[in-house]
């Protein structure tokens, strides 16, 4: 028996002995027995070198709420319980995606922190405020540790337990995919199989992106220290089918974040945008796909500038005339570039923290530079046509091969033809029941040859058009010169 058990039981042992003694004395009133036990406990507390901290499952008035600390401790202890406790309880918790194990009532597990030993015990007792909305029994965890380490335990250790417990909860919870319509979010369970393992791209680039994401998700203290809101913007750009959307799903899966797929075209105006964004929880990715199509973000500021110039000119002509203020109410009630910039920079977008804002586009050159400057879109990631390194990833994933005699030919062709990873993946889909990868690779070679040929024809056609245009321009110039003479 450990020393702390001896001390914990000492009170009851002394009390029981005294009770037996009292029985001998016969007819000891209940109140006296109670007092004997109480003073024995006080005595033990005085000499006992251990402290105990209790965390109740239910808190608040009338025990109506489940305690956050209790839930975090439960998650924290789950791995320790599964290796140490003799009696376990298993269940799939609400909003969780995996089986959670926890120690049964009146079990105990030990833990270590900076070389110190501590003990967690689970217990339950009858509720003294029973009502129809609270259970009859109240559960709790009790932490026992040596008095000497009080400061370390009450500060760093408990912070560590709560932080780690919450991280475990976040990893296990079911993630959600939110979409907006009628100025409200609705959600489904997010179950996308994409991961960074299955994403075919240059391994170095992939590693860099993963490290960047993990560094972000663990940098709460850094952001706090340097006084920045805990958010980061990513711009993913590249031709269709190069894996932009797949990468976003992989990001959400890697970090365990929820995904808010914001459809800007169905947001009425900047106010509605703000309202929607204030409802976004932390640990989430706010995604705006095809940003160049979502809004006239490229031209709106320019247009506005032109409009102001036009108003000024009109005013000079007729000072009485009012500018075209409300004339385009409908146009103005749309989400604007400045509204979007406010959303990225605004104070309210930082409420809750830990958010990624991701934009995707096929045409990065069309975007307003203000939108994609550092601090708004911090990291620009280009996803491009499939080259050999990415192909190897796809072959490993789809065909489970790491080499093949046809790889040499494919390598040459991938340098010459532009095929997106989506197109390459299509060729690698199972072609025959036999599962022989040669058929898929041959199909890919044909696809690459076709793409190469099409590119050659297009280049020839473009060259011809260019030549024709140059000839016509020369002719026009000749005409001008003759006319001048």
DSSP state of 32: H
Q: Give the closest residue to 244 by CA, choosing from 331, 131, 358.
A: 358
Cβ 236 to Mg ion shortest distance, Å = 9
DSSP output for 268-306: -SHHHHHHHHHT--SSEEEEE-SHHHHS-TTTHHHHHHH
Q: Give the closest residue to 452 by CA, choosing from 484, 423, 473.
A: 423
Contacted by 377, from Mg ion, ligand ATP, none: CB < 5 to 8 Å by type = none
Stretch that binds Mg ion, among 106-114, 193-201, 222-230, 237-245 (CB under 5 A): 237-245
68 C-beta neighbours (distance < 10 Å), count: 13
For ligand ATP, the closer CB: 172 or 360: 360
Query: Could you say whether residue 165 binds ligand ATP (CB under 6 A)?
Result: no
Q: Which residues are CB-contacts of 274 (< 8 A; sequence separation ≥ 6)?
A: 339, 342, 343, 346, 348
Q: Which residues are CB-contacts of 383 (< 8 A; sequence separation ≥ 6)?
A: 201, 236, 237, 238, 242, 243, 244, 247
Label residues 329-344 b or e (16+ Cβ within 10 Å = b): eeeeebbbbebbbbbb
Sign of CA dihedral 79, 80, 86, 89: negative
Chain positions 382 to 421 lying near ligand ATP, rule: CB under 6 A, are: 383, 421
Cβ 393 to Mg ion shortest distance, Å = 19
Residues in contact with Mg ion, total (CB under 5 A)? 2
3-class secondary structure, 14: helix
Chain positions 90 to 109 lying near ligand ATP, rule: CB under 6 A, are: none
CA dihedral (66, 68, 72, 74) in degrees, to 10, reads -20
Stretch that binds ligand ATP, among 197-205, 291-299, 321-329, 343-351 (CB under 6 A): 197-205
Cβ 360 to Mg ion shortest distance, Å = 6
Contacted by 243, from Mg ion, ligand ATP, none: CB < 5 to 8 Å by type = ligand ATP
Chain positions 129 to 158 lying near Mg ion, rule: CB under 5 A, are: none
Query: Could you say whether residue 425 binds ligand ATP (CB under 6 A)?
Result: yes
400 backbone φψ class: left, alpha, beta (φ>0; ψ -120 to 50): left
70 C-beta neighbours (distance < 10 Å), count: 18
Cβ 102 to ligand ATP shortest distance, Å = 38
For Mg ion, the closer CB: 196 or 223: 196
3-class secondary structure, 382: strand
Stretch that binds ligand ATP, among 8-16, 90-98, 192-200, 222-230 (CB under 6 A): 192-200
Q: Which of 362, 384, 418, 443 binds ligand ATP (CB under 6 A)?
A: 362
Stretch that binds Mg ion, among 212-220, 241-249, 256-264, 279-287 (CB under 5 A): 241-249
Inter-residue contact 397 to 200 (CB < 8 Å): yes
Query: Could you say whether residue 251 binds ligand ATP (CB under 6 A)?
Result: no
Stretch that binds ligand ATP, among 96-104, 240-248, 280-288, 300-308 (CB under 6 A): 240-248
Q: Strand 50-56 and strand 137-146: pairing?
A: antiparallel
Query: Could you say whether residue 240 binds ligand ATP (CB under 6 A)?
Result: yes
Query: Could you say whether residue 203 binds ligand ATP (CB under 6 A)?
Result: no
Query: Could you say whether residue 198 binds Mg ion (CB under 5 A)?
Result: no
For ligand ATP, the closer CB: 109 or 295: 295
Could you give the C-alpha distances from 243 to 246, 263, 296, 323, in angstroms and in order?
Answer: 5, 19, 24, 47
For ligand ATP, the closer CB: 233 or 243: 243
For ligand ATP, the closer CB: 77 or 383: 383
Contact flags string 418-447 toward Mg ion, x per CB under 5 A: ------------------------------
Q: Which of 11, 165, 233, 243 binds ligand ATP (CB under 6 A)?
A: 243
Rg (CA), the chain: 34
Query: Could you say whether residue 362 binds Mg ion (CB under 5 A)?
Result: no
CA dihedral (1, 164, 78, 9) in degrees, to 10, reads 20
Query: Could you say whether residue 287 binds ligand ATP (CB under 6 A)?
Result: no
Interacting residue ranges for Mg ion, rule: CB under 5 A? 244-245
Interacting residue ranges for ligand ATP, rule: CB under 6 A? 198-201, 240-246, 362, 383, 421-422, 425
């Amino acid at each position: 028996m450990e020393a702390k058990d001896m001390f914990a039981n000492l009170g009851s042992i002394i009390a029981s002995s005294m009770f037996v003694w009292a029985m001998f004395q016969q007819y000891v009133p209940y109140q006296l027995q109670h007092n004997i036990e109480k003073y024995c406990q006080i005595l033990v507390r005085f000499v006992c070198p251990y402290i105990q901290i209790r965390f109740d499952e239910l808190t608040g008035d009338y025990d109506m709420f489940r305690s956050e600390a209790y839930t975090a401790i439960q998650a924290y202890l789950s791995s320790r319980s599964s290796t140490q406790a003799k009696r376990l309880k298993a269940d799939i918790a609400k909003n969780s995606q995996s089986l959670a194990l926890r120690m049964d009532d009146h079990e105990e597990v030990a833990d270590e922190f900076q070389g110190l030993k501590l003990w967690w015990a689970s217990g339950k007792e009858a509720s003294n405020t029973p009502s129809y909305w609270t259970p009859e029994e109240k559960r709790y965890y009790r932490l026992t540790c040596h008095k000497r380490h009080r400061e370390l335990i009450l500060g760093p250790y408990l912070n560590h337990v709560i932080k780690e417990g919450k991280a475990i909860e976040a990893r296990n919870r079911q993630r959600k995919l939110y979409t907006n319509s009628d100025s409200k979010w609705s959600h489904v369970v997010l179950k996308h199989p994409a991961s960074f393992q299955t994403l075919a791209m240059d391994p170095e680039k992939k590693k860099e992106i993963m490290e960047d994401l993990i560094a972000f998700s663990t940098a709460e203290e850094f952001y706090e220290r340097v006084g920045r809101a805990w958010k980061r913007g990513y711009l993913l750009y590249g031709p269709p089918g190069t894996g932009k959307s797949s990468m976003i799903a992989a990001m959400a899966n890697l970090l365990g974040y929820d995904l808010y797929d914001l459809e800007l075209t169905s947001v009425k105006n900047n106010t509605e945008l703000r309202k929607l964004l204030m409802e976004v929880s932390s640990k989430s990715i706010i995604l705006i796909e095809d940003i160049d199509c979502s809004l006239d973000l490229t031209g709106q500021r320019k247009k506005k500038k032109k409009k102001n110039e036009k108003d000024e000119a009109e005013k000079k002509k007729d000072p009485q005339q009012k500018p075209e203020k409300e004339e385009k109410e409908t146009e103005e009630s749309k989400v604007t570039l400045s509204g979007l910039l406010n959303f990225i920079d605004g104070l309210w977008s930082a409420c809750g923290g830990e958010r990624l804002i991701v934009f995707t586009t096929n045409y990065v050159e069309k975007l307003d530079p203000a939108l994609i400057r550092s601090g708004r879109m911090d990291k620009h990631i280009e996803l491009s046509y499939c080259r050999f390194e990415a192909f190897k990833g796809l072959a490993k994933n789809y065909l489970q091969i790491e080499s093949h005699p046809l790889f040499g030919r494919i390598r040459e062709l991938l340098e010459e033809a532009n095929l997106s990873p989506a197109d390459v993946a299509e060729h690698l889909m199972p072609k025959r029941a036999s599962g022989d990868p040669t058929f898929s690779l041959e199909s890919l070679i044909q696809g690459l040859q076709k793409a190469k040929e099409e590119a050659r024809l297009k280049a020839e056609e473009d060259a011809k058009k260019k030549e024709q245009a140059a000839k016509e321009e020369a002719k026009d110039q000749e005409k001008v010169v003759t006319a001048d003479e």
